[in-house]
Amino acid sequence: MWNEKNFFKRPLFVLICSLFIFSCSTLPELKVNYKLPSEHGLLNGKKIILIVKDNRSSEVFIAEGALKDFKNYSGDISYSVAKPDEPGFKIGLYKLIPMIRECFERRLKFLGLEICDENLQGIPTITILLNDFTLDLVNRKWEAKIAYQARFIANGEGEKVQSISGQAERLKLLGQKEAGRLLGELLSDLINKLDIVNFFK
């Protein structure tokens, strides 16, 4: 027979149920840390317009092999940024393309560049085309692939282009921690490879 008074006297039962529900509802999490390069302030006083476009064939970046570990994944990335020789600090939750833009903004600003509105005239423009961003799991190893193209136009001159791509792998341990670490290291390496200073020569 139902007894409301006795039911609420069972805190241990409620606690166990709550813990069970919490454990069953835990969603996969992807933490990515972008580490800035050592070069700093080399383009102080200059301005630039930044455009980031998604040029991938699919917006889904979790490949088939990793789907089981990312069941019910929201697509949010816990994004953090680190200066050289520092552990980094969390910026917030981002979808992929906004996170990519945030990474490039940090890189440009770290060089001393002022990022301007797209509607301004006579400002050098860099357009980033994201061609690939994939995370997979093959034979208990996380595999990541990233590819992008940077196009730079200034003062009516011809377009300067750099195409950068790479891939890396890391052994899967527990959860998605190593996957996020792998993506952060590869993303940092490839973004920092872009020779922005050379664009202005």
Per the structure, how many domains does the chain have?
1
* pLDDT-wise least confident of 17-31, 43-57, 62-76, 91-105: 17-31
CATH number, domain with residue 82: 3.30.160.150
Closest CA to 104 of 149, 50, 54: 50
Alpha helices in the chain (DSSP H): 4-7, 11-25, 96-110, 177-193, 196-199
pLDDT band at 11 (very low <50, low <70, confident <90, very high): very low
Average pLDDT, the chain: 89
Residue 8 lies in a domain: no
- Print the domain residue range for 79: 28-199
Residue 117, Cα to own-chain centre: how many angstroms?
A: 23
pLDDT of residue 13: 41
> Which one has a higher pLDDT value, 158 or 57?
57
Output the DSSP codes for 19-56: HHHHHHHPPP--EEEEE--S--STTTT-EEEEEEEE--
Residue 179 lies in a domain: yes
Residue 167 lies in a domain: yes
| Segment 93-109, tens digit of pLDDT | 999 999 999 999 999 99
Contact 146, 166 (CB under 8 A): yes
Residue 6 lies in a domain: no
Residue 43 lies in a domain: yes
pLDDT band at 157 (very low <50, low <70, confident <90, very high): confident
Residue 2 lies in a domain: no
pTM: 0.85
Token output for 164: 């950068």
3-state secondary structure of 12: helix
Mean pLDDT over residues 98-124, rounded?
Answer: 96
Residue 16 lies in a domain: no
Q: How far is CA 134 from CA 88, 138, 188, in A?
A: 24, 13, 15
3-state secondary structure of 79: strand
